[in-house]
């Protein structure tokens, strides 16, 4: 009868401390999203497969979780397919719905479907889980949260500026040191042209995107394998090795790409964004990085990526501009730009650095020991008063041994324990133990309140 | 190419206003959960089907959404099953995971799986969506949120008292008038014994649970059809028609059930809970309702249900005590009690009564009109200052026509629009329009701030 309970691989339970810490991250990001004028939306976990399929490449299609149709689903599959046990073909007939793979495609679908109810430019944020049938491994899960902010319906570079400021504000709030890397897809396109392979922008960007991970030699090897000429690869090297501050990088680049309108356009866009930022006081460095490509070929302008400076981990936030995201659903010429925070990686970074604020995992401020019926009633009324003041408080519900009650307070990380026996009731006093120091003193109700407020 | 986008039936998109209003409900409930010492947990959307199957009855099993196995899933199904197109049997082989159907079973699974990491009594709350392949209809969705709070590992009736106070506090916060109905499964069991059918507690409670909906005559008919004797049904009538306040109902009941230990026990439990509550100042009436059964046969003690008083709708919150929820996963004798808020119904009630606070749907406080490059920069720096003060503000990103920019502010429900041209920059002033009144005046930055704060 009794089963040994477990959960599907690649998924996770979150204990109270973990959930509270995750909420600290979500709340920090959400607060900034709102302050910058982004509005929340939510979309269903399940989308029609017709919405999802073909949007993430062949590999992505395979990673979709599909929902088995209800009822007599096999009757809709031709017998010969079943007999041949052709899973790939049958899948399309057994399932019409799938779990969302990211928040971007559902967002595009949402914008098209609700276009008449929305104010454009539409600034939305969305914090929801996504699902991928990826092979689970350390730091990669089958269910994880994305925290996205996008503006669609505006091609102003003020949006890029604002998103960069927003990123800086979030990581400043989280007390994490980061570098914000930017690039522009137009520059990458111009470089492809410059080295004589204008048709290979994707191959080239995918390869140079790996520079950090695999090194220059391996990147060159990959470029060669993709059919880039030796001459082209050689022409690319100085660009990959550009040094100095943003201004000097842009200067060198302007020389290299002098004859490319697209290239100069990309350079001008970056300069304009940096100009908007010139009067803002960012905590993080914004660094032009020409090797930043983010492999996503729907980006058409700015490319953004954030790296933590204190630990080695992949990007913890990224984004960019896309000129035609809603086109796949029939709404053309709507430019957008957006970013996505990787909450799970941010969690890992904060944990490694031990940088979660203590309050993030604390709920109840004071536990009232339970001595018996008479004391219970007295404690209950004090707890009611505290709660009315917005202070989280509990009476231990059972008349258990003192040791057990104190151990409960300890495990729960409750900072104060109040003991009230007959004497205390008679004198209207509270014996208050501060759990961190172990000190104990007799206090009035008001003194209890102020001790808690001082500690908070 | 262009598909007409849609979402699966029974699911919903939430626009910014709807999401903000839903968050208002979730935040109100969450705040109270925390104040009362409940800690948050989260569990995965997908559970192993072995965890879910058999927990919700045969009907429930059919309503589970199953996730098609990845890879070559058909190869795991015997050919003859496929040939016979036996969907029911094949389902078990095509899918190993399902979407959670409620938060209670995942919670029981969580408690058993993490028993060594938790402090008992364990007070947890959980606010997450659940999925049911129900036939969609008005007010019934295939994806909806549950907001649950439970205590396990304590049989103290202080927990019942606290949950009732919590319910009252939440609905007071939401400015909704409700009645909180309570009953006790032990009384129902004793009544079944009293009318001569101790083995038919479930049939009896399911029938009398419908009293409100179908009336006494139909209930009696159902009781008869379930094999209850005419004599038994007759004995039950006075109990179903009990009138008066809680004390007089309990008094009558004590006479009827005088010879039943179980019955007297149930009565004593209710009296104890009402006793705990005697010093609390509830806004809502707590009413003993013997026809309250909630059809869930895992309840063993208290039964709780909340009805809105101002609109006709089903229950908007419910719960009760269960003595052996974790037993199905091999952890015996852990008593628990919990409640669940129906956020979707609460939303409908608040909407019908037009009782969402205006702030719930407001984000940005002031929009800065975009006149051109020079003005942009000036506005950007003012927006930065406002955000640093915690005030949500935006610059309209594009140099669009004034009419379009004002219309944006209108649609977004932004209360103030600031216009800054060359003159204003030169004089360090802001032309501020209050959107509700249409009045316009020249103000300083500090006056702008105080206008916004006054309005907030």
| Residue A1: predicted pLDDT | 44
Look up residue A217 and give its two tokens: 């030699």
Residue B1 has a pLDDT of 44
Interface of B with A in 213-252 (CB under 8 A): none
Q: In whole angstroms, what is the distance from residue A419 CA to residue A430 CA?
A: 6
Instruction: Identify whether the C-beta of residue A44 lies closer than 8 Å to the C-beta of residue B12.
Output: yes
Q: Which chain A residues contact residue B394 at CB under 8 A?
A: 36-37, 123
Nearest-angstrom CA–CA distance, B395 and B405: 10
Q: Is B159 exposed, middle or buried (0-12, 13-18, 19+ CB in 10 A)?
A: buried
Q: How many CB atoms lie within 10 A of CB B234?
A: 11
Residues of B in contact with A337 (CB under 8 A): none
Phi and psi torsions of A50, nearest 5°: -65, -25
Q: Which two tokens stand for residue A319?
A: 């984004």
Q: Chain B: give the shortest CA distance to residue A258, in Å.
A: 26
Q: Do residues A122 and A53 make contact, with C-beta atoms less than 8 angstroms apart?
A: no
DSSP states of B184-202: EHHHHHHHHHHTT-GGGHH
Report pLDDT for B423.
94
List of chain B residues whose C-beta atoms are within 8 Å of the C-beta of residue A121: 397-398, 408
Average pLDDT in the B422-446 region?
A: 96
Residues of B in contact with A119 (CB under 8 A): 407-408, 411-412
Residue B342's nearest CA partner among B108, B199, B139 is: B139
Tell me which of A1, A6, A8 to substitute to probe the interface with B (most B C-beta atoms closer than 10 Å): A8
d(CA A318, CA A125): 14
Mutate to test the interface with A, among B321, B334, B397, B404 (most CBs of A within 10 A): B397
Specify whether the CB–CB gap between B213 and B189 falls below 8 A: no
The Cα–Cα gap between A395 and B162 comes to 10
Interface residue of B37, B149, B361 to substitute, partner A, most A CBs within 10 Å: B37
**Residues B347 and B311: beta-carbon distance below 8 Å:** no
**Residue B354, number of CB atoms within 10 A of its CB:** 6
pLDDT (tens digit per residue) in B38-58: 999 999 999 999 999 998 888
Strands B366-368 and B416-419: parallel
pLDDT of residue B112: 96
Mark yes or no for CB contact B113/A15 under 8 Å. Answer: no
> Does residue B156 carry a pLDDT above 60?
yes
* Residues on chain B touching A113 (C-beta within 8 angstroms): 5-7, 13
pLDDT value at position B443?
97
- The answer to whether B37 contacts chain A (CB < 8 Å) is yes
CB A335 within 8 Å of CB A310: no
| pLDDT for residue B412 is more than 70 | yes
- Compute the nearest-CA separation of A260 from chain B (Å): 26
Q: Do A397 and B151 touch (CB under 8 A)?
A: yes
Q: Considering only the C-alpha atoms of chain A, give the largest distance between any 2 of them, rounded to a whole number of Å.
A: 93
Burial bucket for residue B449 (CB in 10 Å: 0-12, 13-18, 19+): middle
**B286: closest CA of chain A, how far (Å):** 18
For β-strands B336-341 and B317-322, DSSP reports them as antiparallel
Q: What is the dihedral of CA A117, A122, A125, A131, to 10 degrees?
A: 70
**The pLDDT of residue A295:** 64
Residues in CB range of B339: below 8 A, 6 or more apart: B148, B149, B150, B163, B166, B167, B304, B317, B318, B319
Sole residue written with tokens 């990380």: A413
Indicate if the pLDDT at residue B248 is higher than 60: yes
Q: Backbone dihedral region of A71: left (phi > 0), alpha (psi from -120 to 50 degrees) or beta?
A: left
Q: Work out the pLDDT band at B242, boundaries 50, 70, 90.
A: confident
Closest partner CB to A363 (pick from B16, B34, B381): B34
Q: What pLDDT score does B314 carry?
A: 85
Flag if A73 and B87 touch (Cβ within 8 Å). Answer: yes
Q: Considering only CA atoms, give the Rg of chain B.
A: 28
Q: DSSP 3-state assignment of A232?
A: helix
- The strand pairing partners of B393, in sequence order, are B366
Instruction: Give residues with Cβ within 8 angstroms of A265, minimum separation 6.
Output: A186
Instruction: Pull the structure tokens for residue A170.
Output: 């979030």
Nearest chain B Cα distance for residue A453, angstroms: 14
Sheet holding A393-395, edge to edge: A393-395, A366-368, A416-419, A430-434, A440-443
Question: Which of B442, B447, B370 shows the shortest CA–CA distance to B455?
Answer: B447
pLDDT for B295: 64
Residue B148 pairs in a beta bridge with B126, B340
Residue located via tokens 């909340």: B306
For residue range B292-350, list pLDDT tens digits in order.
887 667 789 999 999 999 998 889 999 999 988 898 898 998 999 999 999 999 999 99
Residue A446, chain B, CB below 8 Å: the answer is no
Residue A277 touches partner B, C-beta closer than 8 Å: no
- ipTM of this predicted structure: 0.92
Whether B95 and A68 lie within 8 Å, measured CB to CB: yes
Give the helix/strand (H/E) hosting B338: strand B336-341
Chain A: nearest CA to B388, how far in angstroms? 9
Chain B residues in contact with A154 by the CB 8 A cut-off are 397-398
Question: pLDDT confidence of B71, banded at 50, 70, 90?
Answer: confident
Mean pLDDT of chain B: 93
Q: Which two tokens stand for residue B142?
A: 């295939």
Chain A contact present for B390, CB below 8 A = yes
Q: What is the secondary structure of B48-116 as a DSSP string?
A: EHHHHTTSSHHHHHHT--EEEPSSSGGGGS-HHHHHTT-HHHHHHHHEEEEE-S-SHHHHHHHHHHTTT
Binned average pLDDT, 10 residues per bin, chain A of 456 residues: 80 96 96 96 97 90 93 82 82 92 96 94 97 89 97 96 98 98 94 91 85 88 93 89 90 92 96 95 94 78 96 92 89 94 95 91 92 94 96 96 96 95 96 96 97 89
| Collapsed DSSP state (helix, strand, coil) of residue A185 | helix
CB contacts, 8 Å: A77 with chain B: 85
> Crossing angle, helix A185-194 and helix A261-277, to 10 degrees?
150
- Chain A residues lying within 8 Å of B36, measured CB to CB: 387, 392, 394
Distance to chain B for A219, nearest Cα, Å: 32
* Angle, CA A171 vertex, CA A165 and CA A173 arms, to 5°: 100
Q: Please name which of B172, B178, B184, B185 lies closest in space to residue B272, comparing C-alpha atoms.
A: B184
Distance of CA A25 to CAs A30, A31, A173, A417, B262, Å? 9, 10, 10, 29, 49
For residue B294, the model assigns a pLDDT of: 74
The whole-number pLDDT of residue A137 equals: 86
Selection from A208, A214, A223 nearest residue A303 by Cα: A208
Q: How far is B178 from chain A (nearest CA, A)?
A: 20
Are the beta carbons of A202 and A190 closer than 8 angstroms?
no
Q: Is A43 on the interface with B (CB under 8 A)?
A: yes
Q: Cis peptide before B121, with omega less than 30 degrees from 0?
A: yes
Residues of A in contact with B118 (CB under 8 A): 15
Contacts of A377 in chain B (CB under 8 A): 276, 279
List of chain B residues whose C-beta atoms are within 8 Å of the C-beta of residue A380: 158, 161, 276, 279-280
Which residues lie below 8 Å from residue A275, measured CB to CB, with a gap of 6+?
A: none
Q: Which of residues 49-108 of B touch A (CB under 8 A)?
A: 50-51, 62, 65-68, 70-75, 77, 79, 82-83, 85-87, 90-91, 94-97, 99
Residues of A in contact with B48 (CB under 8 A): 6-8
Whether B381 has its CB under 8 Å from any CB of chain A: the answer is yes
**Which chain B residues are within 8 Å of A166, Cβ to Cβ?**
none
Nearest residue of B to residue A20, measured between CA atoms: B40
Residue A150 tokens, joined: 């996008």
| Cα–Cα nearest to A303, from A322, A285, A284, A329 | A322
């Amino acid at each position: 009868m009794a089963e040994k309970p477990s959960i599907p691989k690649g998924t996770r339970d979150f204990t109270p401390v973990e959930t509270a810490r995750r909420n600290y991250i979500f709340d920090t990001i959400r607060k900034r999203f709102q302050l910058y004028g982004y509005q929340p939306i939510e979309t269903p976990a399940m989308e029609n497969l017709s919405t999802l399929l073909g949007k993430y490449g062949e590999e992505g299609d395979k990673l979709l979780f599909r929902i088995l149709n209800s009822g007599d689903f096999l009757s809709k599959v031709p017998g010969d397919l079943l007999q041949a046990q052709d899973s790939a073909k049958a899948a399309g007939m057994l399932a019409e719905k799938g779990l969302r793979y990211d928040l971007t495609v559902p967002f595009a679908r949402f914008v098209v479907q609700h276009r008449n109810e929305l104010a454009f430019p539409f600034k939305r944020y969305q914090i929801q889980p996504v699902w991928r049938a990826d092979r689970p491994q350390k730091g990669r899960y089958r269910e994880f949260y994305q925290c996205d902010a996008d503006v669609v319906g505006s091609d102003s570079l003020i949006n890029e500026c604002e998103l960069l400021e927003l990123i800086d504000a979030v990581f400043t709030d989280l007390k994490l040191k980061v570098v914000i890397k930017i690039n522009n897809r137009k520059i990458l396109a111009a470089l492809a042209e410059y080295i004589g392979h204008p048709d290979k922008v994707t191959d080239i960007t995918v390869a140079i995107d790996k520079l950090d991970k695999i090194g220059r030699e391996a990147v060159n090897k990959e470029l060669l394998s993709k059919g880039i000429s030796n001459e082209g690869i050689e022409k690319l090297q100085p660009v990959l090795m550009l040094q100095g501050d943003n201004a000097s990088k842009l200067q060198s680049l302007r020389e290299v790409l002098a004859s490319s309108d697209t290239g100069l356009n990309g350079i001008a866009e970056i300069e304009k964004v940096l100009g908007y930022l010139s009067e803002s006081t960012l905590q993080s460095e914004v660094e032009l990085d020409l090797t930043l490509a983010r492999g996503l070929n729907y980006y058409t302008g700015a490319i953004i990526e954030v790296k933590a400076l204190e630990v080695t981990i992949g990007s913890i936030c990224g984004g960019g501009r896309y000129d035609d995201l809603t086109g796949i659903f029939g709404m053309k010429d709507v430019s957008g730009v957006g970013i996505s925070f990787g909450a799970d990686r941010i969690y890992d970074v904060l944990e490694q650095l031990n940088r979660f604020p203590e309050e993030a995992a604390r709920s109840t401020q004071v536990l009232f020991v339970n001595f018996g019926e008479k004391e219970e009633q007295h404690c209950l009324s004090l707890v009611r008063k505290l709660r009315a003041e917005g202070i989280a408080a509990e009476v231990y519900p059972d008349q258990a041994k003192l040791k057990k009650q104190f151990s409960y307070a300890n495990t729960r990380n409750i900072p104060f324990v109040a003991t009230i026996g007959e004497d205390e009731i008679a004198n209207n006093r509270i014996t208050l133990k501060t759990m961190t120091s172990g000190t104990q003193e007799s206090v009035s109700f008001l003194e209890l309140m102020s001790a808690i407020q001082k500690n908070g």
